[in-house]
Amino acid sequence: MKKPIIAVLTEITEKDEKEPSFKNVHSFCEELNELVAKKDGFFYVFSLKGISKQGVKGFYYDDGLWRKENLPFPDVVYNRIHSRKSEASQVFRSFIELCNDLNIKVFNQRFLSKWEVHCWLETKKNLQPFLPETKLYRESELLRMIQHYSELYIKPINGSQGRGIFWIKNQNNQYQLTYSEKDQLTYERFGDFYELKKALDRKIRNIPYLIQQGLPLLHDQGKRVDFRILCHQARIPEWSVSSVVARLSAENHFAANLALGGELLRPQRVLTSLFGKENTNLKITLLKELALESAQTISEFVPGLMIEVGIDLGIDVEGNLWIIEINSKPSKNLGEQQTKIRPSARAIVDSCYNLISIDSEGEV
């Protein structure tokens, strides 16, 4: 009986006579390998450079080392490419065509843009109350929204990890523009809207951006708090929550992303101090329900298989829940790891085996 073969597609750095690096998914790949081996399967990691019509040149784990070898095509591929440019390349498109021809399942085939996610979620009436007002970046919308809201976020449509975001505060038509530059926050002040717009245009250039309503999110120790909920589709079409963590922004920062110096906390620790124990359990239940509804909606629209999403939710000072962002490539650098094997690693492997089981009519 053929062993199930599961592989991760990502960027790989190779150095002479040294172990390869799978960058920020390296430890996650080690966990996946351990789980697949326990299930009597075979796991390996490869990059776009290793693909040919005859097979794949990738790295498998053997006796404490990642060894490079010509390997058979996998049954399932978990796409963890971190470059939008690579995903848009002809090499990647050809790989997907090859997988379609060989009946290889590839999940999370592409990044999501903030604008398409907003448009998808907005089609669901039950999700609309949880969406901050969001518009494509243009002068008329910026002027209208800055007059209506005391703060706004200007976000790159295809951005990630909180980078490239601008925060605008309006205090009696005096505008403060805050952004991260070389890992430090920069502040600029303007007494005129059109001067603010000119400064933004110089920084944004021709990159597509959107404007999003600012939210008075909860603070803990003077730092902004949001929540990352990881959802997985172990058995299609059933979504489940694998983990919930609270993210605390770096001091004075307006985004809680770990890449910008944020830190992780248990959600109970943050919420109990703000809402009390009983209300904390209710808030966490509501966060999970909103995340699952969001994940289900995204999977209805996105092309191809979507097995994992990271959903960022916020709670404002009045206790209202908000959908901030949804990510098809949630960070594996840190995150929900509390034991040696993360819940999300177990969820990914379970999903892969279920895909194989469906494809082989139960013979795994």
Which of helix, strand or coil describes residue 107?
strand
Q: How confident is the model at residue 362 (pLDDT cuts 50, 70, 90)?
A: very low
Kindly report the number of other CB atoms within 10 A of residue 58's CB atom: 25
Instruction: Dump the DSSP string for 268-313.
Output: HHHHHHHH-HHHHHHHHHHHHHHHHHHHHHHHHHSSSB--EEEEEE
Cβ pair 321, 313 in contact under 8 A = yes
Q: How confident is the model at residue 321 (pLDDT cuts 50, 70, 90)?
A: very high
Q: What is the pLDDT of residues 284-302, one digit of tens each?
A: 999 999 999 999 999 999 9
- With 80 as the cut, is the pLDDT of residue 281 above it? yes
Residue position matching structure tokens 């708090």: 225
Report the percentage of the chain scoring pLDDT > 70: 91
Q: How confident is the model at residue 337 (pLDDT cuts 50, 70, 90)?
A: very low
- Residue 130 neighbours by CB under 8 Å, 6+ apart: 290, 321, 322, 323
Locate the domains of the chain by residue range: 5-109, 114-130+217-328, 134-213
Q: What is the pLDDT of residues 207-234, one digit of tens each?
A: 999 999 999 999 888 888 999 999 999 8
Residue 184, pLDDT score: 79
Q: What is the pLDDT of residues 299-317, one digit of tens each?
A: 999 989 999 999 999 999 9
Q: What is the pLDDT of residues 175-197, one digit of tens each?
A: 999 998 767 789 999 999 999 99
Question: Phi and psi of 189, rounded to 5°?
Answer: -120, 145
Report the percentage of the chain scoring pLDDT > 90: 77
Q: What is the pLDDT of residues 135-170, one digit of tens each?
A: 999 999 999 999 999 999 999 999 876 788 999 999
In single-letter form, the type of residue at position 26 comes to H
Which of helix, strand or coil describes residue 98?
helix
With both helix axes pointing from N to C terminus, report the angle between 343-359 and 26-38 in degrees, rounded to the nearest 10. Answer: 50
Q: How confident is the model at residue 70 (pLDDT cuts 50, 70, 90)?
A: very high
Topology (CATH) of 5-109: Rossmann fold (3.40.50)
Residue 230's DSSP bridge partners are 243, 310
Cis peptide before 237 (omega within 30 of 0): yes
Q: Kind and range of the H or E element at 109?
A: none
What average pLDDT does the segment 95-117 reach? Answer: 96
Q: What is the pLDDT of residues 229-250, one digit of tens each?
A: 999 998 888 999 999 999 987 6
Residue 325, pLDDT score: 94
Top-level CATH class of 114-130+217-328?
alpha beta
What average pLDDT does the segment 13-32 reach? Answer: 90
Least confident of 1-5, 318-322, 333-337: 333-337
